[in-house]
Structure 1
Amino acid sequence: MSIPAPRQTSSYAVISLVAGILGWTLLPAIGSICAIIFGHMARGEIRRSNGQLEGDGLAVAGLVLGWLATALWLIGIIFFIAIIVFFGGLAGIAALNS
């Protein structure tokens, strides 16, 4: 009777999760982008491994953290630009009325 070899966890999946956490803490932009890239790489690697690798949940968690942080950054940048345009427009109107 042979004992099946234990499945290994994808290194890319672990990197994706760690980068996703770093994207919310110490390295906001770089961590989020790395989480997205490594998460997609991990899911592809796991699919191609024919059951030899695990860690799809880790990869998905890294992807979710990365995409959420990226979306919040984009929303924040758009909001910041909108505020600048709004107050810039108000300043322009005030300058024309004086």
Structure 2
Amino acid sequence: MNERKTSTLAIISLVAGICGWTVLPLLGTIAAIITGHMARGEIRRSGGTLDGDGMAMIGLVLGWLQVVITVLGLLFIFLFLGGLAWFASVAS
């Protein structure tokens, strides 16, 4: 019987994705995205000998979701709060 091994990169992607939301926001997010893409490619090329596509996908989702939330937060800060500051300066 041939057992499938779990991709190490998939595990790293999942752990990095969790770290991106907790202790290492920038580094964990970047590592989750990079290793997630690498793991999915490695799993596809393995011909069925590697497992862990779900873990790699969760790592990718956690990483990209962190990027989207960060970009939206920055847009809010610069556009909305900057607009308020502009409005306050024009109104006074």
- TM-score interval for Structure 1 and Structure 2 normalised by the shorter chain: over 0.9
State yes or no: 1:54 paired with 2:43.
Answer: no
Return 5+ residue gaps in structure 1 as ranges. none
Match of 2:27 among 26, 30, 33: 30
| 1:23 alignment partner AA | G
Structure whose alpha-carbon radius of gyration is higher: 1
Correspondence for 1:75 = 72
| 1:72 partner amino acid | I
Read off the aligned partner of 2:34 and give its amino acid letter: I
5 Å matches for 1:6-25? 6-25=3-22
Amino acid at match of 1:7: R
Please give the TM-score of this superposition, normalised by the length of structure 1.
0.87
Report the alpha carbon displacement of residue 44 of structure 1 after superposing the two structures with TM.
0.1
Work out whether residues 29 and 70 of structure 1, in 8 Å CA contact, stay in contact via their aligned partners in 2.
no
Q: Which runs of 5+ in 2 are unaligned?
A: none
Normalised to the residue count of structure 2, the TM-score between the two structures is 0.92
SS in structure 1 opposite 2:64?
helix
Aligned positions, number: 92
Q: CA deviation at 1:87?
A: 2.5
Q: What's the CA shift for 1:84?
A: 3.5
Q: 1:5 aligns with which of 2, 8, 14?
A: 2
Q: Which runs of 4+ in 1 moved over 6 A?
A: none
